[in-house]
Amino acid sequence: MVAIVAAAVALMTAVGCRVVGARDKAEGAEPGAKAPPAVARIIYTSDDAPGTPKLEDLPLKERVSQYAIT
pLDDT tens for residues 7-66? Answer: 666 666 665 655 555 444 445 556 666 777 778 888 888 888 888 999 999 899 888 888
The pLDDT value recorded for residue 26 is: 47
The pLDDT value recorded for residue 40 is: 82
Q: Does residue 4 carry a pLDDT above 90?
A: no
* Burial of 42 from C-beta contacts in 10 A (0-12 / 13-18 / 19+): middle
Kind plus residue range of the DSSP H or E element containing 2 = helix 2-14
